[in-house]
Structures are given as C-alpha cells and as structure tokens.
Homo-oligomer: A and B are copies of this chain.
Amino acid sequence: MKVPGFKAAAVAAELRYRERLDLGLIVADQMVDVAGVFTRNRVQAAPVLWSKEKVAQGRARAVLVNSGQANACTGPEGLEAARRSAQALAGLLNCSPDEILLASTGVIGQPLNLAGIEQALPALMAGLDEKNLPLVAQAMMTTDTKPKIVKDQGRIDGRPFTVIGLAKGAGMICPNMATMLSFILTDAQVKAPLLQLILERAAEKTFNRITVDGDTSTNDCVLALAGGPAGPPLLDSDESPGREDFEKVLTGVMADLARMIVADGEGATKLVRVIVSGAADESQAKAAALTVANSPLVKTAWFGQDANWGRIMGALGRSGADFDPNRVDILFEDVPLVKNGLDAGLEDAAAAVMRRPEFSVKIDLGAGTASAEVLTCDLSLDYVKINADYRS
C-alpha cells in the first residue's frame, strides 16, 4: 500500500491512549500541490483553522495527525499549540511551518498534548518509510474498529498513476461537510486549483452523502496531496487530457472510504443505501433521503430487522419534500413493500432482506424525476453504549 513520492510513519505517543498508535505523519519527498475541504460547523478546531490557511496557498510538504485530543474549543492556546507542533516538525524537515498541514481527532475541549507530540517527533521522523501509510490509518482511529485505507490506479496518457486514500470515522458523521479525517495522496501531477475543484466535486458525491448520526464534527477535513517525482503529465484544467480518468479514480477511492466509514459507524450492524427517486428536484430528493437516513425510529427498526415502513413514511413527511403520500412506493431491495402509499403485504419478504448486513431502501416519491442516494447505518444498542461511555 504505497504511492510514489510519499513516506509515512506512526508512533504510540501516548497522547491519551496507552500503547497504541496515536500520532501519524505523511511526508512528500518534495513540495506537492494540495487541496482541502473542511467542516462547515461554526465551531472549528485549531488544526482546521490552521490547515485551511495553509491549503489556500496550494502547496505543502507534510501532514501531521493525532488522535486523542481534537484540539477544538481550546481558544488561542489551542491555535498556539497547533502552530508549535507544526514549527517543531518543520524544524526536523527543514521546511517552513506553513508547509505543514495538521489534523486532530478525539475529545473536544481538551488541550493538545503538545509535549507528547514534540517528544515523539524524532521517533516519527526515524520511522518514515513508503510502506507505512497503513500505520497512519491506524493512528487516526478513535472509536473506529478498523483502519480505512484504499488504493486504486489509473493511467493518464498511457502513464500509470496511483491514488491512496486514508480515512477515519466513526461517530459525529453527517453530510454537509468533509466527513471526519481523510487524506488522499496521489503521484499524479495535478495543480492545486484543479485538485481543489475535483476534491470538492468528489466530496459532494461521496463523504457528503453519508450519515451515521446526523452530528457534524468540529474537526472534519479531507486533504488531498498530489505530486511525485515520476508522475504522469500535468493536469491543470478540466480540459486536460486524462482529467476525467483521474477524477474517476479519485472519486472511486473516496466512495470506497465513505462506504467503509459508514460500515464501521459506531455500533453499526447494517449498511443501508437509501435511494430516493421521483422527487420534484434534487435538493428535495437529498432532504428526503437524509431525513430517512437520520431518523432514530427508522434506524432502530433496521437494527430490529423490522420492516416498519410507516416510520419511513413519517420521516418522508417531515423532510420538507413535496409529494402525495398516495403515490409513494417503497422497496427493500426488490421487495415492493409499499405500493401507492399502501402496504403491499410483503413484510416477511422485506424482513428477510433486512437480515442481510447490507441492503437498499428504494423510495419513489412519484412527484418528479430527481433522485439522490445516501449511505447510512442502523442505530444499535452498541451506538448508545459506545457514546455513553466514550470518555471513561
């Protein structure tokens, strides 16, 4: 799992947890083009504020990521701690602190363990190796049960390129943002402005279409780093030959990561694809899909493998989408559970579909031609257990 031009390392810095990786580093062999999308939450963590500013310059050398403390709601001191961690790393890399991107995840409101980070940096530098990206995926984890890393390859003008994506979930996951932390690395030569455009389009189709619990985080960010010594030809506009292939590969990597985040949603036992069609317009389709996907009553019924379509109707009805209840069809995979707003007498067949770990709920509102899709999971006993106990 490696991509030419990038090295990585992770260590157990014991920032909060004992004896597990919690500090990760990705270093590009040379300056690379960068892009980023960030949380739209009004409360933004110090590393988000820091990285936003640096991404705007379009170039960077490294990403430093920690789990344990989110460094959010930590005021001017939190920003100062972020700055000092970047400074310490820049000293070791012989670059400017402005070329260091930062990301944090963990408990909100606790100060960053700066001393722990500074102490761990030499070991982190010593561990840098192109094979170590999977260790960074591990170091980013909080309540995730699995590291999330995806690789895909393509060709531009006959020359191969690689895209690797890393991500972490698993709670505070809701659309309208760049979900939690994800880093996308490629050796394709993509100029920053185009990379930004592609990243935004891909995020809208992938990370912005998943939800675990409707809670948007203060720390979400997706960073993309592009560049490598032996990369294929330069992409610098939507018209560049190969741009389309590159965007497809990058979007595919992000879609895979998004799916992995939901599948590993806190306590999730089911991965559910909510597909709304027949809506009056796309924003109504998205609102309807999201309202169903975020409804606690719908999600607990999924957990109970109960084909309770009345709760889906209830959620659709409060979503703001315009439709006539008597024209709604609902299918669980290919089982038509509701036909023209009425029970079709197939609950047993639908319940059988729900015993699968992954299934689709297809809703036709009968009010137009627009559609939207959202990936989500159920609301289980373990979700409550995890979040009642997270900090203890």
Contact = CB atoms under 8 A, between A and B. Distances in A.
A247 interface: no
A42 B318 contact: yes
A38 interface: no
A326 B73 CA distance: 8
A174 B340 CA distance: 27
B388 A303 contact: yes
Contact of A314 (B108, B295, B315, B384): B108
Contacts of A338: 73, 109
Interface residues of A, number: 65
B109 A383 contact: no
B72 A301 contact: no
A306 B391 contact: yes
Given A108-B309, A108-B310, 17 more contacts: A41-B317, A42-B318, A43-B313, A70-B310, A72-B313, A73-B338, A107-B310, A108-B314, A109-B309, A213-B296, A297-B387, A300-B387, A300-B388, A301-B387, A304-B387, A379-B384, A381-B385
A110 interface: yes
B387 A342 contact: no
Interface in A213-230: 213-218
A366 interface: no
A368 interface: no
A392 interface: yes
A304 B215 contact: no
Contacts of A235: none
Given A313-B109, A314-B218, A296 B42 contact: no
B303 A384 contact: yes
Interface string A153-189: 0000000000000000001101010000000000000
A53 interface: no
Nearest to A388: B304
A341 B296 contact: no
A84 to B, nearest CB: 18
A239 interface: no
A316 interface: yes
B42 A311 contact: no
Given A309-B109, A317-B41, A215 B384 contact: no
A140 to B, nearest CB: 18
Interface string A343-364: 1000000000000000000000
Chain B CB within 10 Å — which of A215, A322, A390 has the most? A215
A216 to B, nearest CB: 4
15 contacts: A43-B314, A43-B317, A44-B317, A75-B326, A108-B308, A108-B313, A109-B342, A172-B311, A214-B294, A215-B311, A300-B387, A304-B387, A306-B389, A380-B384, A383-B384
A317 to B, nearest CB: 3
A325 B384 contact: no
B325 A215 contact: no
Contacts of A341: 73, 75
Given A42-B323, A314-B218, A297 B213 contact: yes
A317 B42 contact: yes
A87 interface: no
A309 B74 CA distance: 12
A338 to B, nearest CB: 8
Interface string A58-98: 00000000000010111100000000000000000000000
Interface string A280-312: 000000000000001111001101101011110
